[in-house]
Amino acid sequence: MKRVLARTVYMVVVLVLSSIAVFYAIRLSGGDAVAARVPASASAEEREAVREQLGLNDPFHEQYFDYMGRLFTGDLGNSLTNNAQIGKLITEHGKNSLILGAAAFALVFGVGIPLGMLASLRRNSWWDGGIMTFSVAGMAVPNFWLALLAVWLFASVLGWLPSAGCCGPKQLVLPAVVLAMEGMALTVRMTRSAMLENLNQDFVRTLRSGGLSESKVIGRHVFRNALVPIVSLAGLRIGQIVGYALVVETIFGWPGLGQVLVNAVLRRDYPVAQFFSLVLITIVLLSNWLADVGYTVVNPRLRRG
Amino acid sequence: MATMTDQGGRPSGGDQPVTAPLLSIDGLRTMVSTRRESFDVVRGLSLDIYPNEVLCLVGESGCGKSITALSIMRLLPTPPVRVRGGTIRFRGEDLLRLSAKRMRSIRADSISMIFQDPLTSLDPVFTVGDVIVEVIRAHRDVTKEEGRRLAGDALTKVGLPDPLAQLDSYPHQLSGGMRQRVMIAMALVLDPDILIADEPTTALDVTVQAQILDQLVTEQRERNMSMLLITHDLAVVAAVADRVAVMYAGEIVEQAPVDELFEDPRHPYTQGLLRALPKVSTTRRRLDPIPGLVPSLQMMPPGCAFAPRCPHALDRCWTEQPELAADPDGRVFRCFNPQPFAG
């Protein structure tokens, strides 16, 4: 319990610090937020007036407290470019991101763990060799490059899948696989090594001496032990998926949070960029927190004392 | 079937009826084979375990005691270790030729084993109760509740403090002695005929060692069970054994009832072991170790394995392998030139 509480406090502190970092970083990145708001023909005075009206001439810290104050009253503000309500943007695009992220997450563990187990149980076989080669490739190829290769092969050459779009199952396949690839490859490796390590533990011999079947010994006991390191890093995998989603959503034209954030940053749409960043940061922090709690659940040695 | 004389040293008193062995190992050969080399670690071992006895298998580290036990249980780490010859007969069946499924049904139910290090030998992420219930349910058709009740009884019986609460404990929450009691409870919960205990007290504190040993002997007596106790500790042997088999370099060199072995050891290795014991009562100050080293199993001498360290070795000892046989007194050992023991 103490551990969970400590992690929660830690999470809040990190969130506050990141909000400051995000707020300053986007203002320090140059460009002009007003450009999106006024016609290109507007005079210097007109631009200055809009800037004043948006409070962009105030000192940074005043702008920050002003913004955070409004956030806490539930006023998320509007986009500078098209005046869309940010709350609405979040729900619309969040849904798409959730679909993509969940699909990738399911692939990372739903495919990664079974492949890793297969490799460990058929150690040094062709299965093992094939799976591990796939895994090394999955980690080595950068996802933007993999995305381009996938589009070229499956959309242009074979014509099996659309190259971009939203939001049917067909359009989901390529971005989900590309988004999941690195995490999946890491999960395969980790599952394999954790399984092999635990297969050599003394307790396996004890369980066999108790007359348990191999499926119980391996499928239940060795697997549960191997799950400890895998679950403890599940939070990192989520963080990875959130981060990579910016790239993958942009490449595949998947209208999720990542795509909106990238566009907002490019246009210096401060309110959108700030809030979307905070949302993504919160997701990453929450997933790490969940992984910590999950680690305590799968590893009884951390529960007491 | 083996006769009395060539099995030697059994039974210990003339008042015991002659019984057939419960488990009979004959000519067991277990080998290690890797890509680079292969050699036998158990070299034609024959040993009988009789009903209701405590048989101690003694010998120094690496002589093949544990490998023998794991061969019986068919729990050798294969590869690289595997049995390449011999038979292990138990109730009319050769354990080495049973199907994996049939062998599983014998483990824990008929023949149980406990291991040296009780911390690493228990699954860290399952509760003690979970695992014991699983062992019960692998052999008996009982509900989880019934299994839990049986597991609780087993923990109570081995003297674990607060046994019912410990069902929900994880191994890391228990002390070394408590863990070993859990191992004993798990091994005995199905009331096996034979318990193989492989150095069960070696990893424990001295005070706890005595308690665990006591517990094991009590269980053995109450259950009319046989126990094969593997140890390198002659004090343990003297305290609990009915019969002793001394192992050297993968084979039995002498076997005898415990009193005879300590009073009048015949094989020079057994004699050396007893001489090497530190004694409080005598004036001798220096320890008296056996000179030399155990021969490497990869390069065994052609004759007696002990010849290179033996003070009484004859020429023939270097070229010919003595058989394990009974002498006119009915003592069983493997030596061409036995000498009287002068402690």
Task: Give how far Cα A121 sits from Cα of A109, A115, B221, B237, Å.
Answer: 18, 10, 43, 42
Bridge partners, B26 (sequence order):
B87
Mean pLDDT of A221-245: 87
Q: Say whether both B233 and B329 belong to one domain.
A: yes
Q: Domain containing B259 — which CATH number? A: 3.40.50.300
pLDDT of B153 strictly over 70: yes
Domain housing B167: 111-191
Q: Say whether both B77 and B151 belong to one domain.
A: no
Amino acid identity for residue A240 in this structure: Q
Q: Say whether both B74 and B176 belong to one domain.
A: no
Number of domains, chain B: 2
Q: Say whether both B88 and B124 belong to one domain.
A: no
**Which of A210, A221, A224 lies closest to B138 in CB terms?**
A210
Q: Structure tokens of B17? A: 């009826």
Is B230 within the bounds of a domain?
Answer: yes
Tell me if the bond preceding B80 is cis, omega within 30° of 0.
yes
Mean pLDDT of chain B: 86
Q: How confident is the model at residue B154 (pLDDT cuts 50, 70, 90)?
A: very high
Half-sphere exposure of A244 (CA within 13 A, CB side): 25
Q: Say whether both B165 and B27 belong to one domain.
A: no
| DSSP-derived pairing of the beta strands B111-114 and B194-198 | parallel
The verdict on domain A90-277 having CATH code 1.10.3720.10 is yes
Alpha helices by DSSP H, B167-230 = 176-188, 206-223
Cβ–Cβ pairs < 8 A, chains A and B: 77
Bridge partners, B38 (sequence order):
B33
Q: What angle do CA A68, A73, A76 make, to 5 degrees?
A: 65
ipTM of the complex: 0.87
Q: Say whether both B137 and B180 belong to one domain.
A: yes
Q: Say whether both B48 and B118 belong to one domain.
A: no
For residue A274, which of A97, A56, A35 has the smallest C-alpha distance? A56
Q: Say whether both B16 and B83 belong to one domain.
A: yes
DSSP assignment of A205-252: HHHHHTT--HHHIIIIIIHHHHHHHHHHTHHHHHHHHHHHHHHHHHHH
Note whether A304 contacts B: Cβ–Cβ < 8 A. yes
Q: How confident is the model at residue B3 (pLDDT cuts 50, 70, 90)?
A: very low
pLDDT of B5 strictly over 70: no
Encode pLDDT of B203-236 as tens digits. 888 888 888 898 999 999 998 899 999 998 888 8
Q: Say whether both B136 and B57 belong to one domain.
A: no
**Which of B100, B106, B121 lies closest to A202 in CB terms?**
B121
pLDDT of B146 strictly over 50: yes
For residue B243, give the 3-state DSSP assignment: strand
Domain residue ranges in chain A: 90-277
Residue B11: DSSP 8-state:
S
Q: Tell me whether residues B107 and A205 touch, CB distance under 8 A.
A: no
Q: Say whether both B309 and B227 belong to one domain.
A: yes
Q: Say whether both B235 and B181 belong to one domain.
A: no
**What is the phi/psi pair of residue B302, to 5°?**
-70, -30
Strands ordered across the beta sheet of B81-90: B38-49, B23-33, B81-90, B93-94
Q: How confident is the model at residue A107 (pLDDT cuts 50, 70, 90)?
A: very high
Nearest CA in chain A to B72: A209
- Distance, in angstroms, between A292 CA and closest chain B CA? 17
Is B258 within the bounds of a domain?
Answer: yes
pLDDT of B43 strictly over 70: yes
For residue B333, give the 3-state DSSP assignment: strand
Is B44 within the bounds of a domain?
Answer: yes
Buried b (16+ CB within 10 A) or exposed e, B169-186: bbbbbbebbbbbbbbbbb
CA distance B195 to B180: 14
Q: What is the largest CA-CA distance in chain B?
A: 67
Q: Which residues of A touch B135 (CB under 8 A)?
A: 210-212
Instruction: Using the Cα atoms of residue B201, residue B202, residue B203 and residue B207 in order, give the sign of their dihedral.
Output: positive
